[in-house]
Amino acid sequence: MTTSTYRLLPEWYPQDGIQLTWPRPDGDWQALLECIEGTLARIVIAVTRYQRVLISVPDEITRTRLTATFDAYGVPKGQLLMCIAPSNDTWARDHGPITVADEAGVLQLMDYTFTGWGGKFPADSDNRLTQRLAEAGLWNCPITSRELVLEGGAIETDGDGTLLTTEACLLNPNRNPRMSKATLEQQLAKDLGVDRVLWLAHGHLEGDDTDSHIDTLARFCNPTTIAYVRCDDPTDPHYAALQAMEQELQAFRQRNGEPYRLIPLPWPQACHAPDDGRRLPATYANFLIINGAVLVPTYGDPADVIALNALAVAFPEHTLIPIECSHVIRQHGSLHCLTMQLPQGTLAAAHQTAEELS
Tally: H helices and E strands in the chain: 9, 17
- Measured CA to CA, the distance from residue 216 to residue 336 in angstroms comes to 9
Region of 74 on the Ramachandran plot (φ > 0 left; ψ -120 to 50 alpha; else beta): left
Q: Rounded to whole angstroms, how far apart are CA atoms 111 and 97?
A: 5
Domains in the chain: ranges and CATH? 7-343 (3.75.10.10)
**Per-position pLDDT tens, the chain of length 358:** 666 789 999 999 999 999 999 999 999 999 999 999 999 999 999 999 999 999 999 999 999 999 999 999 999 999 999 999 999 999 999 999 999 999 889 999 999 999 999 999 999 999 999 999 999 999 999 999 999 999 999 999 999 999 999 999 999 999 999 999 999 999 999 999 999 999 999 999 999 999 999 999 999 999 999 999 999 999 999 999 999 999 999 999 999 999 999 999 999 999 999 888 999 999 999 999 999 999 999 999 999 999 999 999 999 999 999 999 999 999 999 999 999 999 999 999 865 444 444 4
pTM of the model: 0.96
